[in-house]
Amino acid sequence: MEIKPQIRPPVLDEYEALLACLPVTHSEYPRIHQCYYQQHAGYQGEKMLPYYLQFLPENCLILYQLRLQNIRNYYFQMDAVVVTPYMILILEVKNYKGKLRIEPHYSQLIQKTEHGEKVYPCPLQQSRRQEQQLRSWLTSHGFPSIPIYSHICIANDYSHISSDEPIPNLSHITKLPEVFTQLSSENKRRRLTDKKCLALAEEMVRAHEEGRSDLMQKYQLTPADLQFEVQCAHCPQHFLKKARGGWICETCQYRDEKAHVKLFRMYARFVSSEITMKQASMLLGIEGRNTVRRLVKPYVQKAGGSTKASTYCFINERLT
């Protein structure tokens, strides 16, 4: 039973919004784009989990993308957690392609593709830390001892995995149902009642805290680095211009009546949650005060200031 559903990570929206208004010529653009690619690839791998977890028994309680605070006030995140009356299984997904060599002794994973060789931290150490932190979390929240296991799932079926010795808790994701069956056969002693099992899963959901990402700070960007224009949906290398009744691409004639909302969303996300009509005029590239006011008013509420220098606060619900 799914207790905490899988969602698209909000950080992907943050990256997409940032890349949409960061000039491709900016020195940080390649690094930001690469980080976005890695985050997106990771999520694509995680999206494969529900298919394989559907083959588990119905009394399994599944929580996706769980982020908890450990006893030292740091956070640890797990791609999925399977809670049963007999054991808990932590799942970590890695969406790597090519040839993968695991070297636990050196705490590294070596990936070889047609583009060359890359070295990543060994996921085995990460999984062990997750086990330790979840075990401590259970103790600090008054839950009884229960066996905790972790398994690393390689999402790409065509990747080639090798190591000097077999690694029981690492496999292609297709083996996940078999892995669970094997662990279940080794853990037949009931540690939690069904009621206590559900209480544990619900407590985890209550304790979950969504991570916050400040990409502007992470990449040391300022509003001056950004370019507030709306790309054409049909030819992204061009931008929309204000025209009667909406916004238009002068190249392909694509029209968008709500392009200004995208600009407000970018501004609220990366500059400020408040705006003046003068700032809105500069943002929209429109001089007519009445037109600016008409476009802005549905998405703001007055925050303060005199009539001529009023400050308005964006209403986030209306910008979505």
- List, in sequence order, every residue forming a beta bridge with 78; answer none if it has no partner: 66
* pLDDT at residue number 127: 96
* pLDDT at residue number 308: 64
**CATH 1.10.10 at 228-319, yes or no:** yes
Q: Where along the chain do its domains lie?
A: 2-207, 228-319
pLDDT in tens, 196-219: 999 999 999 999 999 888 999 999
Range of lowest pLDDT (36-40, 76-80, 283-287, 306-310) = 306-310
| pLDDT band, very low/low/confident/very high, at 285 (cuts 50, 70, 90) | confident
| pLDDT band, very low/low/confident/very high, at 46 (cuts 50, 70, 90) | very high
Using a 10 angstrom Cβ sphere, with 0-12 exposed, 13-18 middle and 19 or more buried, the burial of residue 280 is: buried
Q: What angle do CA 204, 205, 211 make, to 5 degrees?
A: 100
| pLDDT band, very low/low/confident/very high, at 306 (cuts 50, 70, 90) | low
Query: How far does the chain reach from its first CA to its final CA, in angstroms?
Result: 31
User: Is this prediction's pTM over 0.75?
Assistant: yes
Cβ-based neighbour number of residue 265 at 10 Å = 17
**CATH 3.40.91 at 2-207, yes or no:** yes
